[in-house]
Chains A and B, each alone.
Chain A
């Protein structure tokens, strides 16, 4: 079955329809990771986006229940060069094509994805549609132009959990089958309680925090600072998520009210929201960072980590107050700000994804860092109490 990909500037590509045979609209972004398509599909940060994968062979190892980053795929559509009709891996449960069809995600395959990526690189990300029902390019262009732009759209409140929930599963449970280490024993007791704001949180963040000794209460994006403090957390985590951070003023305000009261750690959108809460500004990147090979330098230690990225927006480093904020990380490819820390308050964040999934594990220690921050904070508190 034929399918069309049409971009808002009128460029179109003709390919084959796979997955669900429906139309899918969204902002078209490219991801350069070689592995981890399933994690990408299910990352809520991709809500509102159609993803083109630069790796031309997708679907080879199928999909499995362990590699989901949330309950379902969030991408609006998928663009690939070749989509495997079979899968081969000892863990695979379902052919990727069937999986996406089941979750109503349209796929276009067989197109010159490299040409598309070059187009996006040159002209920036733009809206598009995958369609196998309507095949009139002009009509589709008009429809694409009618969907809202990502800029200025608050998608976090769309994907966030409706209800508060608890989480204490570590990564062992999921990977015990492929790792040589044994699964965590039953008598595991968490040392810290973290309240995690869900703006589109990935499961692996929760697993990493659990591995570091935390138990989580995951709360909806709009939960007020007071409600959160009432849960008496040892730390607060601000998650990744889709869309533009600027319209999420509720989150910015809550963060302002929480700053200094408990240690805070933010990733991705969480990082951008912290930037905003600190009085900074965010801006949209031309084609974003989406991939698993970005070199990020820790400016404090000089160490470089290869990191997973997935962001279209970034915090403008010039907009942050030198007196309050230390810029801790930059991307060596384009020098964008990738991490910051407050000079005095227990608060830090990174733009990239230390939880990886997909991507390299070089920065996992950040979760430990967060735990150390919570420990230090607790100690200081006790000290204050004792000598107050």
Chain B
């Protein structure tokens, strides 16, 4: 059955903002789907609220709606798109399987509410009943039993009583899983009745359908996943088997996983394969990929089915990267009628996609967590996913892949197994937590037998044995020195994947010395291909990994080449935006005729798609690995230029060491990058240029800190000098807080001082992105933050163009940006953060690199900043690329409207964490809202970020004393909008004094019913709670928490409150406008044409 010609237009729904459990992998799959369908001649319409994606690039789809992913907006888009279609030109289809759970849920909503029928939209990829059967855990289980497969016993409950009864019957522990939530949100394990009640209550609340599945525990069983693909002709193939290192009980997203499965015999594997095939048939996923999870009892082999995801998933992205088989791309083609044997295998070219990849290496994925950002959150791992990113590593053995994976994590800490107290060790092994792997290595180095480790962890002995071998090797090495170690022993250690750095530690030497030693003995890695077929056929895509083997299969070419260093695992502060920039760099350089070389280790990304660059090295981003790639590429005399500006801080940190090894870095020089980061030297530069910055000091001790704080004036911002992303920053209002901070919150030393700056209160923060070739400068965007300075730039909403900045301020910002770009000889992109306090402008920070806002500004202005930047780095000039802007020294301008970017936070994954914003970044994703008015754009952004602004009801206010003046104005505004006002005692006093009617509400500890009670009773629709200082009142925390659980928007700053008011008034005007990016910019072109005419 070939291509379906009855369909002419396909709507693809993206997965929205990056959140825990739904990350960049859906940009990867969505981009593949859009591209392949578009190139096949379909008109592709995309809706995704996340601007920091490649899929929302204007050329990827025919029309790109960066709009809220809600039923109402989708319906509007469908109506519009349907209107545009000429009768008889073909059908409109909806592909819901490449946008994660978000797209799937939305598709179900659209179908159930009759929208799809009303507009005659056909679901392709997965039918409604198949989605429902797979997603509804009970229906799914019934289906499994029907086809003779085993499942854990379970019951679906919607109240506590039934839950207790059932759990008592099957016995504890039990697993709780709310229906229809992402990444296991709200799930957990209850070991007793008390835990059950707590978890069940939360689960019922979090589930959109208020149902929780209680299930027999199979904790400690082996967990497996199979990636399955089916075509309309019922041909089914398995793409990859994945075995979890961490047994059942730890979400697969939080487990170290290994491909292919390592401890299954063929008999067991084939039974699992048969089961997977019957599952996909029974559920009726007609075409495309699905992920099916199994658990196997390690003592009896009993196999149970855990769940199925009838769509591409995080695991399918991993499987695609692990095998070279592009699941999403193939799935999209199958959805429009192609059969598996009609699609060629890109990699071998000669053989069809209808086969099962076989691999001759081992792939290990390791998650990355950031519990340190969420103080108060438990770092125990369980059935709910909590990791923010992941790395993948490829090696010829499990050991090699694992060790490469560990160093890919880029934890910033030295990889060492520190001594752990034996009692603590046992506990750390029993409870799954992020450090368990290191604890195991440590335990083995202390001589723990595999059997004991297995009893403590339930991890398969085969895996444990591998760790033991690594630990043994390290011990053996540590009995030597650089001088005495035998070259064979060194080679063996390298073959196990152990890094130079770790070896240096064992040899009491430096990584550099170990590298020199390897050079002496010729111990270098070779590069091998990922080819889907274990070398059975020739392959044509240079998708490479390093390994210590005999034969190198990837001779470098002698073309002009540029190597782009990616950003490694996603993490807070260094997310998908940087991958976006790296991809753009590759695209632009390819257009300019360069051979592009990508180095990255994040399987979720577009940059690690073998299509993105000419050569892909799936490698850790450490000096050792990057240098090795570099030496490999230059070995035949080719010259390679390296870009470190796009991947965020990870590659930037490599700039100087790489340069010291003779690597040619292009773009802004590593010296300038260093200068911008060196507080002292940078401060001097600003002084010379007469640019203002908040007064600051560098201190090494408690007394000096207090003295400095007094000198610069309270409040002060204190932070360690060596961390990024606002880690461990705090605002202190008095000596006492400074002392406490210095004593408790931070480690400092002679070479790691603490920075103390005057904190600019009530200042407007402004982010500027600019392009420069060292001489000319073009400002790409001046973004005004909604929240005031003090809230990390990544955590505050911002708007383009700016809304309240004066002419004078804008001019000063422009002038200083130009001066700084020239002074730092920026070649490429730079980002500056300013703060404007009472009309005075200060520079907070300069980042001479691509910033988080690049994709957002690019979407708003329709100028691909990263592409221009990379061309500048290769020597082209702004006067050639943006001649008009240079000539008129004009900024790039956004389309005629407002573009608001808003952050998205993972609070729901970390119960117990205070959701107050501060100088430490904690958002994981972002969305964009665009509209003709600021208010509507802001409301859309809020909606996309998951905050549905109420249009009426009660506003609860609790204001810091210094906010009493704006409080009254705000209250008046909300009253005008029809809201009643409730407030705590002090705030109410002030508001009443200002002549407002206010309902008085108790604080949490004052009495009852208090504000939390009101929130729980749905008597409050909006919370405005501004608090100051590092130690928020306990009751404020309780208020914010209640608001989060009850999904009540909470505003924590005055500035945002104003924006919300504008948003609400836009909503009250009942506006529901949608516009594609292409339309936004087309209109702009029309204006431009008019202007020229």
Chain A interface residues (CB < 8 Å from chain B): 13, 30, 32-36, 38-39, 54-57, 60-61, 64, 66-67, 81-82, 84, 86-91, 111-115, 117-118, 121, 175, 177-181, 287, 291-295, 297, 302-304, 306, 332-334, 356-361
Residues 332-365 of B at the A interface (beta carbon under 8 Å): 340-341, 350-352, 354-362
* Residue B460, interface by CB 8 Å: yes
Name the CB-closest residue of B to A358. B266
Taking a contact as CB atoms under 8 Å apart, the answer to whether B352 and A178 are in contact is no
Taking a contact as CB atoms under 8 Å apart, the answer to whether A54 and B462 are in contact is no
- Can you list 30 A-B contacts with CB-CB less than 8 angstroms, sorted by A residue number? A30-B534, A32-B534, A34-B260, A34-B359, A35-B265, A35-B269, A35-B270, A36-B266, A54-B535, A56-B362, A57-B398, A61-B263, A67-B267, A86-B461, A88-B465, A89-B265, A114-B396, A114-B549, A117-B535, A121-B536, A178-B267, A180-B150, A291-B536, A302-B233, A303-B234, A306-B238, A306-B355, A356-B270, A359-B270, A361-B273
* Residue B749, interface by CB 8 Å: no
In the complex with contacts A118-B535, A304-B235, A90-B357 CB distance below 8 A: no
Name the CB-closest residue of B to A301. B233
Contact of B461 (CB < 8 Å), options: A32, A33, A67, A88: A88
Taking a contact as CB atoms under 8 Å apart, the answer to whether B233 and A303 are in contact is yes
Q: Contacts of B298 on A, CB cut-off 8 Å?
A: 90
- Could you give, for residues 247-260 of chain B, a 1 whenever the CB lies within 8 Å of some chain A CB and a 0 otherwise? 00000000000001
With A and B bound together, what is the CA distance between A34 and B237 in angstroms?
15
Q: Separation in Å of the B533 CB from the closest CB of chain A?
A: 7
Q: Contacts of A91 on B, CB cut-off 8 Å?
A: 265, 301
Taking a contact as CB atoms under 8 Å apart, the answer to whether B354 and A295 are in contact is yes
With A and B bound together, what is the CA distance between A34 and B241 in angstroms?
10
Taking a contact as CB atoms under 8 Å apart, the answer to whether A293 and B357 are in contact is yes
Q: Contacts of A180 on B, CB cut-off 8 Å?
A: 148, 150, 302-303
Q: Contacts of A287 on B, CB cut-off 8 Å?
A: 536
Q: Contacts of A295 on B, CB cut-off 8 Å?
A: 237, 340-341, 352, 354-355
Q: Contacts of A112 on B, CB cut-off 8 Å?
A: 549-551
In the complex with contacts A34-B260, A60-B263, A357-B266, A84-B462 CB distance below 8 A: yes
In the complex with contacts A55-B260, A82-B397, A89-B263, A114-B360 CB distance below 8 A: yes
Taking a contact as CB atoms under 8 Å apart, the answer to whether B341 and A304 are in contact is yes
Contact of A115 (CB < 8 Å), options: B238, B351, B358, B549: B549
Taking a contact as CB atoms under 8 Å apart, the answer to whether B396 and A81 are in contact is yes
* Residue B264, interface by CB 8 Å: yes
Q: Contacts of B238 on A, CB cut-off 8 Å?
A: 306
- Overall SS of chain B's interface: loop
Taking a contact as CB atoms under 8 Å apart, the answer to whether A56 and B271 are in contact is no
With A and B bound together, what is the CA distance between A87 and B327 in angstroms?
33
Contact of B551 (CB < 8 Å), options: A39, A90, A114: A114
Taking a contact as CB atoms under 8 Å apart, the answer to whether A361 and B270 are in contact is yes
Q: Separation in Å of the B543 CB from the closest CB of chain A?
A: 14
Taking a contact as CB atoms under 8 Å apart, the answer to whether B533 and A32 are in contact is yes
Taking a contact as CB atoms under 8 Å apart, the answer to whether B265 and A56 are in contact is no
Q: Separation in Å of the A360 CB from the closest CB of chain B?
A: 6
With A and B bound together, what is the CA distance between A82 and B361 in angstroms?
11
Name the CB-closest residue of B to A181. B148
Q: Contacts of B9 on A, CB cut-off 8 Å?
A: none
**Count of A-B contacts with CB under 8 A?**
185
Q: Separation in Å of the B582 CB from the closest CB of chain A?
A: 29
With A and B bound together, what is the CA distance between A55 and B356 in angstroms?
14
Q: Separation in Å of the B248 CB from the closest CB of chain A?
A: 16
Taking a contact as CB atoms under 8 Å apart, the answer to whether B266 and A33 are in contact is yes
Q: Contacts of B301 on A, CB cut-off 8 Å?
A: 90-91, 177-178
With A and B bound together, what is the CA distance between A345 and B352 in angstroms?
34
Supply 17 further A-B pairs (C-beta < 8 A) apart from A56-B397, A357-B267.
A35-B270, A38-B265, A55-B534, A57-B262, A67-B266, A81-B360, A86-B450, A86-B465, A114-B551, A115-B550, A115-B551, A117-B534, A118-B553, A121-B537, A180-B148, A292-B358, A333-B355
Q: Separation in Å of the A205 CB from the closest CB of chain B?
A: 15
Chain B interface residues (CB < 8 Å from chain A): 148, 150, 233-235, 237-238, 241, 260-271, 273-274, 297-303, 340-341, 350-352, 354-362, 396-398, 450, 460-462, 465, 528, 533-538, 549-551, 553
Q: Separation in Å of the A166 CB from the closest CB of chain B?
A: 25
Q: Separation in Å of the A170 CB from the closest CB of chain B?
A: 14
Q: Contacts of B302 on A, CB cut-off 8 Å?
A: 180
Taking a contact as CB atoms under 8 Å apart, the answer to whether B355 and A36 are in contact is no
Q: Separation in Å of the B1000 CB from the closest CB of chain A?
A: 65
Q: Contacts of A293 on B, CB cut-off 8 Å?
A: 355-358, 533
In the complex with contacts A67-B267, A82-B397, A118-B553, A34-B355 CB distance below 8 A: no
Taking a contact as CB atoms under 8 Å apart, the answer to whether A54 and B461 are in contact is no
Contact of B264 (CB < 8 Å), options: A35, A38, A54, A179: A35
With A and B bound together, what is the CA distance between A340 and B352 in angstroms?
22
Q: Contacts of A175 on B, CB cut-off 8 Å?
A: 267, 271
Name the CB-closest residue of B to A179. B271
Name the CB-closest residue of A to B360. A54
Contact of A35 (CB < 8 Å), options: B266, B461, B550: B266
Q: Contacts of B261 on A, CB cut-off 8 Å?
A: 34-35
Name the CB-closest residue of B to A175. B267
In the complex with contacts A84-B462, A332-B354, A90-B550 CB distance below 8 A: no
In the complex with contacts A57-B397, A303-B235, A333-B300 CB distance below 8 A: no
Taking a contact as CB atoms under 8 Å apart, the answer to whether A33 and B358 are in contact is yes
Taking a contact as CB atoms under 8 Å apart, the answer to whether A56 and B263 are in contact is no
Taking a contact as CB atoms under 8 Å apart, the answer to whether B462 and A291 are in contact is no
Taking a contact as CB atoms under 8 Å apart, the answer to whether B361 and A56 are in contact is yes
Taking a contact as CB atoms under 8 Å apart, the answer to whether B397 and A360 are in contact is no
Name the CB-closest residue of A to B300. A90
With A and B bound together, what is the CA distance between A369 and B656 in angstroms?
69
Q: Contacts of A117 on B, CB cut-off 8 Å?
A: 360, 534-536
Q: Contacts of A35 on B, CB cut-off 8 Å?
A: 261, 264-266, 269-270
Name the CB-closest residue of B to A110. B495
Q: Separation in Å of the A326 CB from the closest CB of chain B?
A: 20
With A and B bound together, what is the CA distance between A361 and B278 in angstroms?
12
Q: Contacts of B551 on A, CB cut-off 8 Å?
A: 112, 114-115, 118
Q: Contacts of A303 on B, CB cut-off 8 Å?
A: 233-235
Taking a contact as CB atoms under 8 Å apart, the answer to whether A61 and B264 are in contact is yes
Name the CB-closest residue of A to B234. A303
Q: Contacts of A30 on B, CB cut-off 8 Å?
A: 534, 536
Q: Contacts of A66 on B, CB cut-off 8 Å?
A: 267
With A and B bound together, what is the CA distance between A36 and B235 in angstroms?
23
With A and B bound together, what is the CA distance between A112 and B398 in angstroms?
15
Q: Separation in Å of the B556 CB from the closest CB of chain A?
A: 18
With A and B bound together, what is the CA distance between A203 and B450 in angstroms?
36
Taking a contact as CB atoms under 8 Å apart, the answer to whether B528 and A114 are in contact is yes
Name the CB-closest residue of A to B469. A85
Q: Separation in Å of the B124 CB from the closest CB of chain A?
A: 21
With A and B bound together, what is the CA distance between A208 and B310 in angstroms?
33
Q: Separation in Å of the A85 CB from the closest CB of chain B?
A: 8
Name the CB-closest residue of A to B532. A293
Q: Contacts of B357 on A, CB cut-off 8 Å?
A: 293
Q: Contacts of A179 on B, CB cut-off 8 Å?
A: 271
Taking a contact as CB atoms under 8 Å apart, the answer to whether A114 and B355 are in contact is no
In the complex with contacts A35-B265, A55-B260, A332-B271 CB distance below 8 A: no
Contact of B396 (CB < 8 Å), options: A39, A56, A302: A56
Taking a contact as CB atoms under 8 Å apart, the answer to whether B265 and A332 are in contact is no
With A and B bound together, what is the CA distance between A33 and B536 in angstroms?
11
With A and B bound together, what is the CA distance between A297 and B354 in angstroms?
10
Taking a contact as CB atoms under 8 Å apart, the answer to whether A36 and B265 are in contact is yes
Q: Contacts of A33 on B, CB cut-off 8 Å?
A: 266, 358
With A and B bound together, what is the CA distance between A38 and B150 in angstroms?
27
